[in-house]
Amino acid sequence: MFQPGQGLALPAPPPGWAIAADVVVVGSGVAGLTAALACAATGRHTVIVTKARLDDGSTRWAQGGIAAALADGDTPAQHRDDTLVAGAGLCDEQAVATLVTEGPAAVRRLIEAYGARFDTDEGGGLSLTREGGHHRRRIAHAGGDATGAEISRALVGAVRAAGIETIENALALDLLTDADGRAAGVTLHVMGEGRHDGVGAVHAPAVVLATGGMGQVFSATTNPAVSTGDGVALALRAGAEVSDLEFVQFHPTVLYLGPEAEGQQPLISEAVRGEGAHLVDAAGVRFMLGRHELAELAPRDIVAKGITRRMLEQSASHMYLDARHFGAEMWRRRFPTILAACRAAGIDPVTEPIPVSPAAHYASGGIRTDLHGRSTVPGLFACGEAACTGVHGANRLASNSLLEGLVFAHRIAAACT
């Protein structure tokens, strides 16, 4: 009854074991874990399949924070306008309106229902910062620059507390479909220790792909080793439509480790520029001044192009991010993760500029979905970086990615009945 989707299936032996569920979620970042929790809360038997360990996805590497109109005087309309400008005219305006309108409640739910602990100001309110493309301070952060790690901690804890069944170290292979072409589960290959081993299947009438990005396609990226585009490939083999795969965002400021460096590189969060760091060349000249009204805080594509252009003009391999004026205490308190990463590479940002260059960071395109995460294959949903909701257009606004995962995961839970 259950057959691989219409596309070319991966060569694999027949499943040697199978389990049944109401919903199977592939991926364990903010999108996947939120979708699983929301589905399980409605009483549906939900199974999470993840390629490595439960907390090994891209979410825990997110430094800057999560954007939402949470401050007095800020509004979803202002957040919408910044998102549309960053997307270079190619955003789906209805999707953006959904994101910014439902975003504040999604962040509060993350705090109140799942126990995420964000940094607070002296009055006990959320401490908000600013990043590129934002005209207001609306970025909530945790642990200074360890927002993703805190969100992952909270969601993983909630999943375990809820007793949601999880299959770790499992590579999703192909979509299963029924006689009518609807999603009916996934085949997978468990590659590590656990209750299951080898090729198996999870049968479920609703499949949620939250497999993250594809940064490892590039020689240098901020993405972890698991970000290899598996979910998009699986969807394509199943006959699902994908959109905007050409819109891969390069983060402007990634720690430059030399011409031979490959794979995952340390990210220097946009929040560092949001707190006042300057981009300079080897002579100390701020080259983003005059290129854009926001200078170093222009949208990421503009800053990445500005850095690349200056590198080409000067035949240089990298530029510099200068935040020496922060002082040792601010570096220790606000950016402890970045400080440690720089010092591990032999660079002390307290006393010297940080060498930086752009690297692959985020896939704005992916599996095409509607506003409830539905793909063009019935019963197959997608959310997070693996999906293309239309929110990001040609260029994602800083810190909208975690928010997108939260908002659309809950919409999927409401839709995959």
What positions carry a catalytic annotation?
Answer: 300
Question: In a 3-state reduction of DSSP, which class is residue 354?
Answer: strand
Give residue 306's Cα distance to chain centre: 24
Question: In angstroms, what CA-CA distances link 276 with 131, 202, 337?
Answer: 10, 49, 18
Interatomic CA distance for residues 347 and 344, integer angstroms = 7
Q: Calculate Rg over the CA atoms of the chain.
A: 21
Question: In a 3-state reduction of DSSP, which class is residue 302?
Answer: helix
Total residue count of the chain as it appears in this document:
417
Interatomic CA distance for residues 235 and 242, integer angstroms = 8
Question: Any residues with CB less than 8 A from the CB of 204 and at least 6 apart, and which?
Answer: 20, 21, 22, 23, 24, 47, 183, 184, 185, 186
Q: Which among 376, 383, 386 has a CA at the least distance from the CA of 36?
A: 383
Interatomic CA distance for residues 279 and 113, integer angstroms = 39
Q: Which among 57, 47, 58, 55 has a CA at the least distance from the CA of 195?
A: 47
Phi then psi dihedrals of residue 250, to 5 deg: -100, 125
Cβ atoms of 259 and 267 closer than 8 Å: no
Give residue 175's Cα distance to chain centre: 23
Helix ranges restricted to H, 166-264: 230-237
- Kind and range of the H or E run holding 85: helix 76-86
Q: Which among 397, 336, 316 has a CA at the least distance from the CA of 362?
A: 397
Cβ atoms of 183 and 176 closer than 8 Å: yes
